Amino acid sequence: MTTELEMNWTLGTTGLLALAVAAVALLLVLIIRFRVHAFVALVLTSLITAIAAGIPAGSVITTLTGGFGSTLASVALLVGLGAMLGRMLETSGGAEVMTNWLISKFGEKRAPLALSVASLLFGFPIFFDAGLVVMLPIIFTVARRLGGSVLYYAIPAATAFSVMHVFVPPHPGPVAASGLLEANVGLVLVLGLLVAVPTWFFAGHLFGKFVGKKFDIPVPNILDAALGNGSNKDAFKSSPSVGTVFSLLLLPLILIFLNTGLNMLGSAGVVDPKASWVTWLRLFGETPVALLITVLLGMVLLGFRKGKDKTLIETVVDSALGPVCSIILITGAGGMFGGVLRASGIGNAIANSLQAIGLPLIIAGFLIAAIVRLAQGSATVALTTAAAIVQPAVLADSSLSAFQIATMVLALAAGSVFAGHVNDSGFWLVSRFLNMDVSTTLRVWTVGQALVSVVGFVFVMVLYGIATAVA
């Protein structure tokens, strides 16, 4: 449907760009100046933008709900199940146990670094939103224990999930781009790690220290909601062992690795990807299923095995959903806004115009991905769009080595994460969970994501230079 609609629109690239800028400006004015609730402002702006873009009246609601629904399909289950697991870890005392262990092993000064290293490891197979939600109880507990702005602890960890999500397979963006450019996924994975880790150090670790000193954001209480039915919050506390906490954190990691490992083995021809046992094992490693299994295990290990009443266990997991409902709805509305901008055709129009400028292919690819990201919000869409546009030139150049093609994928990935703002669902996830207003989130998260993009691209260009010199 989107393609048919795009064919009927006559707005040129300049008009589409002006429309996108006006839409973002309207959204910011509504939220910052007139204090309209973010959910209402996003829905209203999406509606106005869809009409202004020329979407036929009969297709406006379908376009809005399509963007909203597709975002919720990927976010709601992960955030909901992740919040349940996090709630059990926090209420049982597991987050505190993990905090004490981290401080005893790494010391107070290195505790934020330890959180980030753990996030880098968990971020290998786990999507950004799910990983962040699961780690938040531990991040908040460490922040309360050691004091200072929550940004000092949360931004490095969130950035760790971000760089792993955008640069390293098996995440969908780099995998899709690797397929389009016929890059070696294993090589992209190795080089992606070489880019992701130092990028995190500069744009996450060091930048997190800076914003932690500049913005004094108290630890949010979103995960501290009172239990219903008159239950005492401490009734679920049992101080589980470090091993129990680790098992609950590592289980989704192992299950998702099982999925991606079998997927890679299937692509390599080692196993039959259509075999029944492969498809069943891969099902258990799908992120929502892996989190569901972990939540059920958490109910057993932190509840039933500790002698907790089944009603209390149900109350604890239920209490996790209320506080995150607002986050899920706002995130979905952010996806709606980005979906309208994508449907307007602005990303493709700008990308096609940039392609004609004649820049070196790797730089043009980075810029295309960055501008498409700014225009419509989704990093995965920006990456795959840019990869599809440069694909003919890459495949036609027989002089490019496998190493150079892999760095091309990473250059596109760097561009696709540039300056996530109000049309990006991840922006709202971070804003709501860390209890930051929009202007602060723009100065912290948007600037931080721009740093991830630019610093990452610098490291990619270093690798590309080495590959070119060797070739």
Asked whether residue 158 carries a pLDDT value surpassing 50, the answer given is yes
Residue type, 134: V
Given pLDDT bands bounded at 50, 70 and 90, which one contains residue 266? Answer: confident
Distances from the Cα of 467 to the Cαs of 367, 399, 414, 427, in angstroms? 21, 12, 18, 35
d(CA 200, CA 195): 9
Among 18-22, 64-68, 219-223, the range with the most confident prediction by mean pLDDT is 64-68
Task: Select the more confidently predicted residue: 265 or 308.
Answer: 308
d(CA 449, CA 211): 13
Residues 349 and 352: their CA atoms lie apart, in Å, by 5
> Predicted confidence band at 6 (pLDDT cuts at 50, 70, 90)?
very low
Which among 236, 280, 229, 233 is positioned nearest to 258, based on CA atoms?
280
Burial of residue 131 (number of CB atoms within 10 Å: 0-12, 13-18, 19+): buried
Between 338 and 6, residue with greater pLDDT: 338
384 Cβ contact list (under 8 Å, min separation 6) = 173, 176, 177, 180
User: Please, are residues 103 and 55 in contact by the beta-carbon 8 Å criterion?
Assistant: no
Residue 4 has a pLDDT of 37
91-118 mean pLDDT: 86
218 contacts: CB under 8 Å, gap ≥ 6: 149, 150, 435
Say which residue the tokens 């399909």 belong to: 73
pLDDT in tens, 42-61: 899 999 999 998 889 999 99
Question: In this predicted model, what pLDDT tens digit does every residue of 273-313 receive, in sequence order?
Answer: 889 999 999 999 888 898 899 999 999 999 999 999 999 99
Alpha helices in 182-320 (DSSP H): 185-200, 207-214, 242-267, 276-284, 287-302, 310-319
Give the model's pLDDT for residue 1: 40
Rounded-to-integer distance, Cα 320 and Cα 82, Å: 9
Report the percentage of the chain scoring pLDDT > 70. 92
Q: How far apart (Å, rounded) are the C-alpha atoms in residues 82 and 390?
A: 37
For residues 160 and 216, what is the distance between their CA atoms, to the nearest angstrom? 21
Residue partners of 1: CB distance under 8 A and separation at least 6: 59, 62
Banded model confidence at residue 217, pLDDT cuts 50, 70, 90: very high
Q: Are 365 and 408 in contact (CB under 8 A)?
A: yes
Kindly report, residue by residue over 419-460, the tens digit of the pLDDT. 989 988 889 999 999 999 999 999 999 999 999 999 999 999
- Which string of DSSP letters, residue by residue, matches 306-325? GT--HHHHHHHHHHTHHHHH
Please give the Cα distance from 173 to 158 (Å, whole number): 18
Residues 6+ apart with CB under 8 A from 14: none
How far is the C-alpha of 390 from the C-alpha of 311, rounded, in Å? 56
| 56 and 63 Cβ atoms separated by less than 8 Å | no
Please say if the pLDDT value at position 27 is more than 90: no
pTM check: above 0.85: no
Residues across the chain: 471
CA–CA gap between residue 306 and residue 298 (Å, rounded) = 11
Q: What is the pLDDT of residues 338-353, one digit of tens each?
A: 888 878 877 667 666 6
Q: How far is CA 439 from the centre of its chain?
A: 20
The residue that leads in pLDDT, 35 or 412, is 412
Helix/strand/coil percentages in the chain, nearest 5: 80, 0, 20
Among 80-84, 118-122, 241-245, 374-378, the minimum mean pLDDT is found in 374-378
**Which amino acid, 90?**
E
Across all residues in the chain, what is the average pLDDT? Answer: 86
pLDDT tops 70 at residue 7: no
d(CA 311, CA 229): 9
Q: Does the pLDDT of residue 260 top 50, yes or no?
A: yes
DSSP 223: T
